[in-house]
Structure 1
Amino acid sequence: MKRILLIATFLSSFCFSQETDSLHLKPNKELDSLKISKKEERTKLIDDIVITGTIKPVSRSKSPVAVEIYTQKFFQKNPTPNIFEAVAMVNGVKPQLNCSVCNTGDIHINGLEGPYTMILIDGMPIVSSLSTVYGLSGIPNSLVDRIEVVKGPASSLYGSEAMGGVINIITKNALTAPKLSVDLMTTSWSENNLDFSTKFNVGKKAASLLSLNYFSFNEKIDQNRDNFTDAALQNRISVFNKWNFQRKENRLASFALRYLYEDRFGGEMQWNKTFRGSNQVYGESIYTNRVEAFGMYQWPLKEQIITQFSYNYHNQNSFYGTNPFNALQKVAFTQTYWDKTFGKHDLILGATFKKTFYDDNTPGTLATDGVTNQPMNSPIFGVFLQDQWEINAENTLLLGYRYDYDKIHHSVHSPRFAWKFSPNPYHTLRFNFGTGFRVVNLFTEDHAALTGSREVVIKSDLKPERSVNGNLNYIWKIPAGGRLVNLDASVFYTYFTNKIVGDFDTDPDKIIYDNLHGYGVSRGASLNVDFSFSFPLSVNLGVTYLDVFQKLDNENEKTQQLHAPKWSGTYSLTYKLPQGITVDFTGQFYGPMRLPVLSNDFRPEYSPFYSLANIQVSKSFKSGFEVYCGIKNLFNFTPKDPLMRPFDPFDKNVDDPVNNPNHYTFDTTYGYAPMQRIRGFLGVRYILK
């Protein structure tokens, strides 16, 4: 606590003593100063170009698919070292920690688990399968120009894994990126993060962006005194290089490479690398090597034909106590599409090919004889067609269809329908209907299968999951004193068949994987409100209601989805003071969520209501510098008893009838929030344009 007070005192004395280089910010009167006579024209000033909803650039107001846009500036209100933590600021998106020891996790959209969320980088499926657990924390914020979020199935465009939604990370364009960008941050827990990027031109028609991210956290902290690290130690380096080219008639061409290395550890406080894989001191040690390549090329033809491609190589070397987990994944992807306009019809016709190789040392890659190793080697061919028809100024219709062929699951069909009705610039109604599918992903995406605390059982040959989704979105722009109040409301319903589920309840020592003999449902509603007052205060509030459950054919009761709170939300308040000083108060709140408890568990089955709040004070200077500091987890919330029997992690004394009459076993899956208590942070940014 003393370190936090020292940081806060230092920042206060630094920021508020500056006068000569201050930037005076007055209340935003941009809309008033333009003196636009028609209120309708005022609403057109706020628009963005989006790609994710329809695969081609289109203004957000004209897109029949609801797309949410978040810029790098938005995420800087609560600075984090990676995308995984940053997206917590998005309403309805939850970065879920799946292990209270090594702190790996995945991203949930509308309560659906990580394998249902497709993570794209520049429209390419770089992050999938194994890396939904191990690759997300390695994506630094320094790469990001903006993030686009589509909630609901998008399989008609993006194929398998896009059942719950799509998060598209749009990286900076080397042609327009700043010449130099530096962001250095540290915390009172000694978490150190460096983001560095520089841009250089090669001749007059090419530019290259070189970005480096380094994150280091090496201090063992155990504030809850269970003899386990509260946060996983990490050493991570990410190097990113992107090239953009200027071509005739503004044709597109880009290429990017990224390398990631991470050394992550969580476990007992006395662990060191000599204990890796031993049964003397428990530790979870994970080495990750990852290479990514992706790009696009527009053919030099009169017709608009674009080819996109990506490749990723992911090597995992891990120990969970005495259990080794070694995995190798290679994914190659390419697609070519033709974009053509016929009158009021925008047509896209494309073909895709994706090949996934996956091998590990678990039963997930064994042949049917249970002895022979049989790596996954799965090619998927696909074709898709989309027609966006602007019927008139008020109505736009989108029809889409995708056909995929997989050698195991054979033909998969994915239709899509979207309709946008906008009678005037103030009101927009969007209705989306579509199907999603997910080919069998290996159970090793689920971290609980790797810890060694439970035996994994695959009950039968798993079939591909299918889903049907409907989504209704309404946007209302309310003029108020020269400003706009933006209301964005949605209701959604998704119905799953053949859902692949892990049964944690039947046997506390096992995870039993099988297709659900019944159905699953994800339904709910969300509301986002944005407003800027006449004085320099802007507010962003979001709330989501979820009902995510499964129901078996032979049972009347439904089972609530794990880690899917009924109520959740986000809040962000920004107040701008004179002399370039900004105060940001941000956070998330979560209602009770069902947790994976053991038989006769003394811990509650549902988490309490809690909020993770942060406050930041920043000051900008005309020279390009910005200094910021603040406090994270302001309310000092951490889960209680995240580990079962931390004093016996190798289950050596499970059968003790006196001290363990309920036969509890060591378990790491109960934790539902970070174990990091209140802490301070301090950072500095510099941008040379």
Structure 2
Amino acid sequence: MKRYILLFLAYFLSVFYVKAQDFVIKGVVESGDVKVQKATLRLIELQRSSQTNEYGEFGFVAISPGKYQLRISALGYKTQLNTIYITGDTILNFNLVEQKEDLSEVVVTGTYKEVNRLESPVPVEIYTAKFFRKNPTPSIFDALQNVNGVRPQLNCNICNTGDIHINGLEGPYTMVLIDGMPIVSSLSTVYGLSGIPNSLVERIEIVKGPASSLYGSEAVGGLINIITKNVNHAPRFSADVMSTSYLENNIDVGFKTNFGKKSTVLTGLNYFKYGHKVDHNHDGFTDVTLQDRISVFQKWNFDRKENRLFSLVGRFLYEDRWGGEMGWNKHFRGGDEVYGESIYTKRFELLGNYQLPIKEKMFFSFSMTNHDQDSRYGTTSYIAQQQIAFSQLTWDKKIGRHDLLFGTAFRYTYYDDNTPATASANLLNEENQPERTYLPGIFIQDEIKLASKHALLLGMRYDYNSIHGHIFTPRLAYKFNFDETSILRLNAGTGFRVVNIFTEDHAALTGAREVVVANELKPERTYNVNLNYLKKLFSTNGSIYTFDLSSFYTHFKNRIVGDYETNPNEIRYDNLKGYAVSKGITANIDVALRAGLKINAGITYQDVSLMEDGVKTQQILTEKFMGTWAISYRIEKLNLGIDYTGNIYGPMRLPLISELDPRKPYSPAWSIQNIQFVYNGFKHIELYAGVKNLLNFTPNKGNPFIIARANDPFDKQVQFDGEGKAMVTPNNPYGLTFDPSYVYAPNQGIRGFFGLRLTFN
């Protein structure tokens, strides 16, 4: 009997001891700096669940020591499975990935149809509005400075017009779209980019590499698709007001309105004003262009049966910008007393997308633009008008392993100006001959699912240009999935581009150089290949690491280049008697640590060169390497976020006027760095402030001057020899003429900024 009593007591004590060793698990579930509410956590082996409260907190009690699988799921976030080891009371913090920011995010730019990022055979980079708020800017043009491999390039020291380079290729090789429609091209590539406000942006998708077989002959080096806000998801009212110590003022206002039961309208208003003359480098010219710009945007969504799509978007832009001598005003516009560059831009855009009311998945999309330009560069006038009408019908059809896309497109372009580009060939005919181009085309794309891990995309496009004839652009893409987080992609294709130097090269209009077109220019042709590897890692502590590595190669035939060096008084345009090559590698890393630290960084090394008569030269105004970064940290207790962003660029070859020109032939390595503090402790209100260009870098440092002959912009005191070349005189010791094309970086120094965001959902 005593034996049984002792055994019972031993069993009771052992059970009590084990129960006494049960532990507590608690912690927080968040996504970056956001606490995730109503997330479900489930211990799979124990079939027990917990749910987070409004602060993202969760807890389990009476958990025995051991190894467990903990699954975390929440609406709008990627489900996460973690292995945990319990040896005592445990505190665990988890960082979830938003569904829209991971590999499952839906993208449309790579294949012109909605696919998740993991399945797209074409690598597409996605940048959300939240990314661009880390370094607030008044326009898309400025915002892209923190995207690796993409560089906004200023083309003029005086009027600050510019374009966007992708992997070293100049702006005209980049196609810019709004909601998939070709809005920004040719004339507006130079003059229309700064008028796109950040307030209307939902996200930006970037494809680096060939896309001509799908988007047409201009998408040679890559494309940027600006996707506007979804009307249904946009806040009821929002406002963003920012000012800088340079007295730059930017106002964005957005509001949503319902018209009846079946239509919703999103309206966006943007106003940017900079009217403060600054001349910190004391050359007598404004350091920064003065601007007065307004943009009005509306997007209509219509509810239809079976959720079929119908949307309309309209935008109007007016801008008045000028730069020049500090004493300039509009009284001197176009005259030779005081030098100024004054540009009036008026632009209207309309685009729409309509899903046909049939069983098949067919869409009709269209866009229309009208761009009026009235410019004066000293005494040179550039008055131009461009109208583009575009329509496209696509049919998305799946047949077995084949995911097909058929399309037909038509594009009409009207262009007229007061330059030789549209002058009559008959010298006795004083009337202009506007350029009218018709470009009908058809394309087909077939994405073939070869196996569970292999996919092949074949595409080809045929266009007929009414001036240059037949255009054929094939495309091939291959995708291999090592697993659900590792992807290898290969893309190859061709491109075709027709050049109008007066719409694309600002240097052809400004300064004292004479434009010479040596021969009839032939269209450019390119051959492109891009190899991309993407890897995503999830650590057991909730941290996330994304690695993206690419190599690229583009070969140009008939490359059209501007020769600044043969004759310092001329810009000579001709097809390259050889070939040009753009090649390099680019790498990006994204890190989201459990502690609330986020790091986005990238580096690109590139070699963009021209080969002619066996001589290789580096392309002017093209860096050998560039790097970008954005580091963010959240201090939850203080409701404070800190963003440190920046970029760095390697040396560029710069356009000198003569052998005596004392300015540096290459730029130094240079960097623009910014810091921002964001406070969101108030309901509906977010405050932000910081400093831009922390290093106070400007391109005049280390140079005797930036603008050549700024003291004589009309060359009234320049003496020329019998060949028309500037002579060396006591008043002109370097034999120069007025020229503002020596520019590679913004001429705006360190400055503070402050802003306020107001949102009502």
TM-score, normalised relative to structure 2: 0.85
Determine the structure 2 residue equivalent to 1:683: 755
- Pairing partner for 2:589 from 519, 529, 545: 529
Go from structure 1 to structure 2 and tell me whether the alpha carbon gap of 1:401 and 1:574 turns closer, same or farther (over 3 Å shift). same
Determine the structure 2 residue equivalent to 1:388: 447
1:365 aligns with 2:422: yes
Show the 5 A alignment for 1:96-135: 96-135=153-192
Cα distance in 2, alignment partners of residues 651 and 161 from structure 1: 38
Cα distance in 1, alignment partners of residues 365 and 404 from structure 2: 18
Cα distance in 1, alignment partners of residues 309 and 265 from structure 2: 15
8 Å CA contact retained: 1:479, 1:485: yes
Q: What is the CA-CA distance between 1:484 and the residue it aligns to?
A: 2.0
Tell me, what secondary structure is at the counterpart of 1:196? strand
Cα distance in 2, alignment partners of residues 365 and 115 from structure 1: 20
Residues 303-361 of structure 1, C-alpha deviations (whole Å, 9 max, x = no match): 11101100110001110011111011001101101111112211011100001111111
Cα distance in 2, alignment partners of residues 181 and 521 from structure 1: 46
Go from structure 1 to structure 2 and tell me whether the alpha carbon gap of 1:32 and 1:677 turns closer, same or farther (over 3 Å shift). farther
Report the residue type matching 2:145 in the other structure. Answer: A
Cα distance in 2, alignment partners of residues 292 and 110 from structure 1: 28
Cα distance in 1, alignment partners of residues 657 and 647 from structure 2: 28
| Structure 1 segments unaligned to the other structure (5+ residues) | 1-22
Which region of structure 1 is more displaced relative to structure 2, 459-468 or 648-657?
A: 648-657
Determine the structure 1 residue equivalent to 2:718: 654
Cα distance in 2, alignment partners of residues 295 and 369 from structure 1: 41
Show the 5 A alignment for 1:553-632: 555-578=613-636, 579-600=638-659, 601-621=661-681, 623-632=683-692
Cα distance in 2, alignment partners of residues 459 and 670 from structure 1: 23
Q: What is the CA-CA distance between 1:365 and the residue it aligns to?
A: 1.4
Q: What is the CA-CA distance between 1:392 and the residue it aligns to?
A: 2.2
Cα distance in 2, alignment partners of residues 371 and 399 from structure 1: 52
8 Å CA contact retained: 2:421, 2:500: no
8 Å CA contact retained: 1:99, 1:668: yes
Determine the structure 2 residue equivalent to 1:645: 709
Report the residue type matching 1:77 in the other structure. Answer: K
Determine the structure 1 residue equivalent to 2:93: none
Show the 5 A alignment for 1:21-40: 33-34=72-73, 36-37=80-81
Residues 608-665 of structure 1, C-alpha deviations (whole Å, 9 max, x = no match): 0111000000011352210000000000000013211111111112226223243201
Q: What is the CA-CA distance between 1:439 and the residue it aligns to?
A: 2.1
Determine the structure 2 residue equivalent to 1:318: 375
Residues 526-571 of structure 1, C-alpha deviations (whole Å, 9 max, x = no match): 000011223221111100001001111xx22211111110010101
- Pairing partner for 1:492 from 530, 543, 552: 552
Q: What is the CA-CA distance between 1:277 and the residue it aligns to?
A: 0.8
Report the residue type matching 1:461 in the other structure. Answer: E
Residues 143-196 of structure 1, C-alpha deviations (whole Å, 9 max, x = no match): 100000000121101112211110000001222211101000000010000000
Q: Number of residues paired by the alignment?
A: 663
Report the residue type matching 2:626 in the other structure. Answer: S
Determine the structure 2 residue equivalent to 1:168: 225
Report the residue type matching 2:737 in the other structure. Answer: T
Determine the structure 1 residue equivalent to 2:236: 179
Cα distance in 2, alignment partners of residues 24 and 543 from structure 1: 29
Report the residue type matching 2:591 in the other structure. Answer: F
8 Å CA contact retained: 1:240, 1:258: yes
Cα distance in 2, alignment partners of residues 235 and 452 from structure 1: 24
Determine the structure 2 residue equivalent to 1:268: 325
Report the residue type matching 2:456 in the other structure. Answer: L
Cα distance in 1, alignment partners of residues 410 and 341 from structure 2: 36
8 Å CA contact retained: 1:185, 1:684: yes
Cα distance in 1, alignment partners of residues 427 and 485 from structure 2: 61
Cα distance in 2, alignment partners of residues 44 and 613 from structure 1: 28
Determine the structure 2 residue equivalent to 1:193: 250
Cα distance in 1, alignment partners of residues 258 and 565 from structure 2: 58
Tell me, what secondary structure is at the counterpart of 2:622? coil
Determine the structure 2 residue equivalent to 1:5: none
Which region of structure 1 is more displaced relative to structure 2, 210-219 or 385-394?
A: 385-394
Determine the structure 2 residue equivalent to 1:543: 603
Determine the structure 1 residue equivalent to 2:345: 288
Cα distance in 1, alignment partners of residues 338 and 386 from structure 2: 30
Tell me, what secondary structure is at the counterpart of 1:86? helix
Name the % identity: 55
Cα distance in 2, alignment partners of residues 660 and 546 from structure 1: 38
Tell me, what secondary structure is at the counterpart of 2:137? coil
Show the 5 A alignment for 1:420-431: 420-431=479-490
Cα distance in 1, alignment partners of residues 416 and 716 from structure 2: 31
Q: What is the CA-CA distance between 1:515 and the residue it aligns to?
A: 1.3
Cα distance in 2, alignment partners of residues 462 and 446 from structure 1: 15
Cα distance in 2, alignment partners of residues 152 and 28 from structure 1: 42
8 Å CA contact retained: 1:111, 1:563: no
Determine the structure 2 residue equivalent to 1:17: none
1:302 aligns with 2:362: no
Residues 182-236 of structure 1, C-alpha deviations (whole Å, 9 max, x = no match): 0000000100000001001112221001110000000000011111101000000
Cα distance in 2, alignment partners of residues 619 and 630 from structure 1: 12
8 Å CA contact retained: 2:580, 2:610: yes
Tell me, what secondary structure is at the counterpart of 2:119? coil
Determine the structure 2 residue equivalent to 1:663: 735
Show the 5 A alignment for 1:57-96: 57-96=114-153
Cα distance in 2, alignment partners of residues 318 and 37 from structure 1: 60
Report the residue type matching 1:404 in the other structure. Answer: D
Determine the structure 1 residue equivalent to 2:460: 401
State the superposition RMSD in angstroms: 1.8
Report the residue type matching 2:284 in the other structure. Answer: N
- Pairing partner for 2:199 from 134, 138, 142: 142
- Pairing partner for 2:433 from 374, 377, 396: 374
Cα distance in 2, alignment partners of residues 610 and 29 from structure 1: 45
Residues 68-105 of structure 1, C-alpha deviations (whole Å, 9 max, x = no match): 00001100000000000001111000000000001000
8 Å CA contact retained: 2:663, 2:706: no
Residues 427-446 of structure 1, C-alpha deviations (whole Å, 9 max, x = no match): 11000011111123343310
Cα distance in 2, alignment partners of residues 546 and 500 from structure 1: 20
Tell me, what secondary structure is at the counterpart of 2:732? coil
Cα distance in 1, alignment partners of residues 629 and 81 from structure 2: 33
Tell me, what secondary structure is at the counterpart of 1:596? coil
8 Å CA contact retained: 2:443, 2:462: yes
Q: What is the CA-CA distance between 1:38 and the residue it aligns to?
A: 7.3
Larger radius of gyration: 2
- Pairing partner for 1:635 from 695, 701, 719: 695
8 Å CA contact retained: 1:207, 1:245: yes
8 Å CA contact retained: 1:615, 1:631: yes
Q: What is the CA-CA distance between 1:479 and the residue it aligns to?
A: 2.7
Report the residue type matching 1:434 in the other structure. Answer: G
Report the residue type matching 1:570 in the other structure. Answer: T
Report the residue type matching 2:594 in the other structure. Answer: S
Cα distance in 1, alignment partners of residues 34 and 534 from structure 2: 33
Residues 579-627 of structure 1, C-alpha deviations (whole Å, 9 max, x = no match): 3210000011001011111112211111001110000000113522100
Tell me, what secondary structure is at the counterpart of 1:73? helix
Cα distance in 1, alignment partners of residues 34 and 551 from structure 2: 42
Q: What is the CA-CA distance between 1:575 and the residue it aligns to?
A: 0.6
Task: Identify which of structures 1 and 2 has the higher relative contact order when contacts are C-alpha pairs closer than 8 Å and 6+ apart.
Answer: 1
Cα distance in 2, alignment partners of residues 559 and 369 from structure 1: 39
Residues 230-256 of structure 1, C-alpha deviations (whole Å, 9 max, x = no match): 100000000011101121112111001
8 Å CA contact retained: 2:238, 2:759: yes
